[in-house]
Amino acid sequence: MILRHVLKKDLPALEKVLKPWSDKDPGILDILANLVSAGFGHEARCRILEIDKAIHCVSVWIPIKSNEVRILALALSKAPGDPASEKFLREEILGWVEMGITKASISIPQSLSSSLTRCLRTCGFMFEGFLSCLDPAEKPGVRLCKHFLYRSVSQPEVLEFLRGLLLSLGYEIRNESEGFGYRIREEFRLPFMFSPWHRITSSGTDIIIHPPARILEPHELETLFFPLRIQAENEKPLLLPMEYKRACQLIDLPDGSAQQNTLFEPVSFCRPRSVHFSDMTYTHPAALKGIRKGLPLVFYVNGTGAVGMGRVEDWRLDKPDNLGSMTEEMGCLDSVELQELAASTGPMAGKVLVLSFQWYKPFKKPVALEEIRRMDESFNPQRTRALSPRLFQSILDCGATDWTRRSGGGLLGSKELFHGV
């Protein structure tokens, strides 16, 4: 898969792919033509995901403020649940995070709403309103947006965080003994609609939303407001070590790596790069303790150092022999290493921990072993291990990943992304 900027040769194909959008707004095709002529001097951007020399996904967007973007057109794969579409959209979101964007919005024609909204919601977009009309020949569309919060919230703060968040989103709040009730403010409701009260309460460390009653998981908020992080008490990010050969098939490496293959370049809107379809790796089951969806990961390449960060998407225990056919999802597999990483005793004996990850971002430069040992003399990258919050933050600071240290820009004010560690 190649992620690249639009070229003149793409325009005929884009006229077909973006026809539902250009039918609503013919000016989109003019923007594309001007963009191709002006190159990166044009304020609009159009990125394409190319698979086997064919256009698979397209986004056209334009900045509307210093920290907001409006998506003018979006075309994803028509195949339901196609992972390439979600991968493309997450890459766009990571690029916006790198720019410090705080809001991205999109207005979708009704003919495309069912096919696009599912993927957009999976990646953290939320419903913002209808595009209403009274002409029987016209059909209403839907408006979605994604907010970006550059901060962390500790587990005890989540309830108050949600209270302030809902007020910012246009809800009214009613205090209750174990939490609060909320509903859409009257002035924001459609005619002939009644908005019932919903409730958010706490039970120990869990946040419960009603009705129906269910636990609100931290990763749900982290996806909605990425790069937000919910930081549980005593939670420790994971270090994932791997060999260089496997790393090149799984992730982008920093430009500063002495061994960097020129095919793998950092996220940029201005140059083509290969997109790794693999988002799965394996490690020793000892890492299972304390794992959750959304837990931060630091990727460590032996001989290079810490090269980037991501977040846990899912995990499972499996036998090494069952992974032999998963090279497409996991890159090259070392059968000897797989056997060595399997637990030797206990209830997990003979199994490895299989991790899928998302939101991977390479550091600006690798953080070498010598640098990390100056932060923590006991650091040993030979096995997957938990990192103290302080060491995790120090590695991020040394890798100079700008958005991990950006403060401000959120709905609820300025806070350091990983404060209090």
CA-wise closest residue to 228 among 163, 311, 342, 305 = 311
| Helix-, strand-, coil-residue percentages of the chain, each rounded to 5 | 30, 30, 35
As a whole number of angstroms, the distance between CA 200 and CA 166 comes to 11
Positions of the chain with pLDDT lower than 70, given as ranges? 40-41, 80-81, 137, 256-271, 324-334, 401-421
In degrees rounded to 5, what are phi and psi of residue 186? -60, -40
What's the pLDDT at 196? 92
Q: Which residues pair with 3 in a beta bridge?
A: 49, 273
As a whole number of angstroms, the distance between CA 48 and CA 57 comes to 6
As a whole number of angstroms, the distance between CA 304 and CA 253 comes to 10
As a whole number of angstroms, the distance between CA 15 and CA 17 comes to 6
DSSP per-residue letters across 269-288? SSS-EE-----EEEE-GGGG
Q: Are 161 and 182 in contact (CB under 8 A)?
A: no
As a whole number of angstroms, the distance between CA 92 and CA 411 comes to 21
From first CA to last CA, the distance across the chain in angstroms is 38
What's the pLDDT at 287? 78
What's the pLDDT at 403? 52
CA-wise closest residue to 281 among 304, 298, 262 = 298
pLDDT digits (tens, 9 = 90+) for 291-310: 999 999 999 999 999 999 99
As a whole number of angstroms, the distance between CA 264 and CA 255 comes to 8
Helices 83-99 and 110-122 meet at what angle, rounded to 10? 70
Q: Find all residues with CB under 8 Å of 177, minimum gap 6, and list them.
A: none
Can you list the domains of the chain with their CATH numbers?
Answer: 2-147 (3.40.630.30), 153-231 (no CATH), 238-401 (2.30.130.30)
In degrees rounded to 5, what are phi and psi of residue 245? -60, -45
